[in-house]
């Protein structure tokens, strides 16, 4: 437990993504509120930093006041570099920030690149040979520019030693909650998540492409209803005839419309939904594989193993070792 507040510098620059900055600050502030309610001192002391002190305009009609310039004489415990929409322009305009990250990374307990903020870490050479992520739309650019970085475009956030990177925009909340959990335990992180009305670990686990998010793209009300039912009842038998009746369609028409709306066949969507749920269960507990298989609609753990190998290229056991909240890892 920390005897004094964890010092956090939120690093911004002209054109930074406002939502990422505010989301991160909100998580840390709510953590302080809950600590105060339990009679404990604040857990975090947050400062706004930039390449210069003063008013820093964001990508929206708001600004933040940087109270300090980044330097080597007053380093935080955690430095969080926020992303930008025009990241290549931001990199070119803020080379002093790249140099600061390069020169001081080893002296900062945790250095975080939110969304395209990961480009600053990559430009500094800090991510060479390591796993990292960013917003899915910028993942290709990150890989092309920095070929030595092991870019994983499907991750919500990744920890590689003391370096953390996250996916886009609201994924900053997921990463900030992970920091709170590491610093003050799961119960406090869960309390903050409830206040913010978000998942401590969102459905789909580490994936940016959660089925719950993807289902929002469906426009046909009958198909959308079936998708929602599948996601809420993954343990139930799902013959296509029953799903078609739920959508008030013939089986043939149901399959045709489902593929048109969703982009995959119903059985593929069911497998993906069951995989989503299995990932969450593997991350957040220690249930045996047989129990998890039953909770996601499979008769045997062997069927679950085959699903993981087919869809993710790893076994369910390997996935648990890599992402389980019960096992703190630092790849």
Written as six digits, the tokens of 162 are: 């003391």
Q: Are 275 and 205 in contact (CB under 8 A)?
A: no
Q: What is the pLDDT of residue 318?
A: 81
Cα separation of 81 and 28, whole Å? Answer: 15
Q: Where are the domains of the chain?
A: 6-196, 209-331
| Region 209-331: CATH code | 1.10.10.60
Q: What is the pLDDT of residue 210?
A: 60
pTM to 2 decimal places? 0.71
Q: What is the pLDDT of residue 323?
A: 64
Q: Domain 6-196 is in which class?
A: alpha beta
Alpha helices in 41-185 (DSSP H): 87-93, 95-104, 118-123, 139-145, 171-184
- Which contiguous run of DSSP H or E holds residue 35? helix 18-37
From residue 237, give the alpha-carbon distance in Å to each of 156, 241, 270.
Answer: 30, 11, 10
pLDDT along the chain (331 residues), means of 10: 88 98 97 96 98 97 97 96 97 97 98 98 98 92 97 87 93 93 90 81 54 70 92 94 95 94 90 89 86 94 90 81 53 42
Q: What is the pLDDT of residue 153?
A: 84
Q: What is the pLDDT of residue 6?
A: 98
Q: What is the dihedral of CA 161, 162, 163, 165, to 10 degrees?
A: 90
Written as six digits, the tokens of 199 are: 């998942």
CB 140: neighbour CB atoms within 10 A?
12
Cα separation of 323 and 265, whole Å? Answer: 29
Q: Please state the φ and ψ torsions of residue 243, each to the nearest 5 degrees.
A: -65, -40
């Amino acid at each position: 437990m920390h005897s004094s507040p964890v010092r956090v510098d939120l690093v911004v620059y002209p054109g930074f993504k406002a939502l990422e900055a505010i989301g991160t600050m909100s998580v840390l502030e709510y953590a302080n509120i809950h600590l105060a309610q339990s009679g404990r001192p604040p857990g975090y002391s947050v400062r706004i930093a930039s390449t210069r002190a003063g008013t820093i305009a964001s990508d929206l009609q708001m600004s933040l006041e940087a109270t300090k310039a980044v330097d080597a004489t007053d380093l935080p415990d955690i430095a969080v570099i926020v992303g930008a929409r025009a990241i290549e322009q931001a990199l070119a305009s803020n080379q002093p920030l790249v140099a600061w990250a390069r020169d001081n990374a080893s002296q900062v307990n945790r250095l975080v690149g939110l969304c395209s903020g990961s480009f600053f870490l990559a430009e500094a050479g800090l991510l060479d040979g390591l796993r990292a992520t960013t917003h899915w739309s910028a993942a290709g650019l990150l890989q092309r520019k920095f070929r030595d970085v092991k870019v994983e475009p499907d991750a919500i956030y990744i920890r590689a030693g003391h370096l953390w990177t996250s996916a886009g925009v609201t994924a900053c909340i997921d990463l900030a909650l992970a920091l709170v959990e590491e610093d003050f335990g799961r119960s406090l992180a869960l309390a903050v998540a409830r206040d913010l009305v978000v998942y401590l670990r969102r459905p789909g686990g580490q994936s940016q492409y959660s089925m719950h998010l993807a289902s929002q793209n469906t426009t046909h009300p009958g198909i959308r209803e079936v998708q929602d039912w599948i996601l809420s009842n993954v343990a139930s038998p799902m013959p296509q005839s029953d799903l078609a009746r739920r959508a008030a369609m013939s089986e043939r028409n149901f399959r045709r419309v489902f593929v048109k709306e969703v982009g995959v066949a119903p059985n593929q969507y069911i497998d993906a939904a069951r995989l989503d749920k299995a990932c969450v269960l593997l991350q957040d507990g220690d249930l045996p594989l047989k129990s998890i298989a039953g909770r996601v609609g499979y008769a045997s753990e062997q069927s679950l193993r085959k699903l993981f190998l087919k869809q993710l290229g790893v076994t369910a056991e390997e996935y648990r070792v890599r992402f389980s909240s019960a096992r703190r890892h630092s790849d």
